[in-house]
Amino acid sequence: MTEWLDVRFDHIRRAADIISQGGIVAFGTETVYGLGGLARSRSAISRIYSAKGRPSFNPLISHFASAEDAFREADLACPLGTTARDLAARFWPGPLTLILPRHPESRICDSVSAALPTLALRVPRGRAVQELLRLVNAPVAAPSANRSGRVSPSCAAHVREELEGRIDAILDTGPCIVGLESTVLDLSGEKPRLLRPGGLTRDALETLIGPIEQVAPLAPDDHSPLSPGQLSSHYAPTLPLRLEAERPDNHEAWLGFGPSEFTLSDRPSWNLSLTADLGEAAARLYAGLRYLDEEGLKKGCTSIAVQHLPTEGLGDAIMDRLKRAAAPRPLLRE
Q: For CA atoms 283, 289, 294, 300, give the dihedral sign.
A: positive
Q: Which does 59 bind (CB under 5 to 8 A by kind): Mg ion, ligand TXA, none?
A: ligand TXA
Closest of 178, 185, 120 to residue 313, by C-alpha: 178
Residue 260 CB, nearest distance to ligand TXA (Å)? Answer: 30
Q: Which of 199, 196, 193, 195 is nearest to 211 (CA)?
A: 193
Stretch that binds ligand TXA, among 86-94, 103-111, 114-122, 167-175 (CB under 6 A): 114-122
**Does residue 62 belong to the site contacting Mg ion (CB under 5 A)?**
no
Contacts of 87 (CB under 8 A, 6+ apart): 96, 98, 185, 187, 205, 208, 209
34 lines the binding site for ligand TXA (CB under 6 A): yes
Q: Would you call 269 helix, strand, or coil by DSSP?
A: strand
Q: Which does 15 bind (CB under 5 to 8 A by kind): Mg ion, ligand TXA, none?
A: none
∠251-254-255 over CA atoms, to 5°? 155
Q: Does 227 bind ligand TXA (CB under 6 A)?
A: yes
**Three-state secondary structure along 151-185?**
CCCCCHHHHHHHHCCCCCEEECCCCCCCCCCCEEE
Q: How many CB atoms lie within 10 A of CB 174?
A: 12
- Choose the stretch contacting ligand TXA; rule: CB under 6 A; options: 120-128, 163-171, 263-271, 292-300: 120-128
On the CB side of 241, CA atoms within 13 Å amount to 27
* CB proximity list for 277: less than 8 A, separation 6 or greater: none
Contacts of ligand TXA in 134-153 (CB under 6 A): 142-144
* Alpha helices (H) along the chain: 9-20, 42-52, 67-71, 81-91, 127-136, 156-163, 202-209, 278-298, 315-326
Query: Which lies closer to ligand TXA via its Cβ, residue 116 or residue 278?
Result: 116
Q: What is the CA radius of gyration of the chain?
A: 19
228 lies in the site for ligand TXA, by CB under 6 A? yes
Of positions 58, 111, 232, 271, contacts ligand TXA by CB under 6 A: 58
Nearest to 70 by CA among 49, 91, 56: 91
Interacting partner of 32 out of ligand TXA, Mg ion, none (Cβ under 5 to 8 A depending on kind) = ligand TXA
Question: Is residue 195 within the footprint of ligand TXA (CB under 6 A)?
Answer: yes
Specify whether the CB–CB gap between 243 and 322 falls below 8 A: yes
CA-CA distance, 196 to 189, in Å (whole number)?
16
Minimum CB separation from Mg ion for residue 255, in Å? Answer: 20
Which residue of the chain is nearest ligand TXA when measured via CB? 229
> Does 29 help bind ligand TXA (rule: CB under 6 A)?
yes
What string marks each residue from 235 to 274 as x (binds ligand TXA by CB under 6 A) or -? Answer: ----------------------------------------
Q: Which of 5, 11, 38, 59 binds ligand TXA (CB under 6 A)?
A: 59
Q: Which of residues 80-99 bind ligand TXA (CB under 6 A)?
A: 97, 99
Residues 113, 118, 144, 173: which binds Mg ion (CB under 5 A)?
A: 144
**225 and 55 in contact (C-beta within 8 Å)?**
no
| Separation between Cα atoms, residue 185 and residue 196, nearest integer Å | 7
The span of 28-36, 38-46, 103-111, 315-323 binding ligand TXA (CB under 6 A) equals 28-36
* 32 touching ligand TXA, by CB under 6 A: yes
The least CB distance from residue 150 to Mg ion, in Å, is 9
- Residues lying near Mg ion in the complex (CB under 5 A) are found at 144
- Residues lying near ligand TXA in the complex (CB under 6 A) are found at 29, 31-32, 34, 58-61, 97, 99, 113, 116, 118-120, 122, 124, 142-144, 181-182, 184, 195-196, 227-229
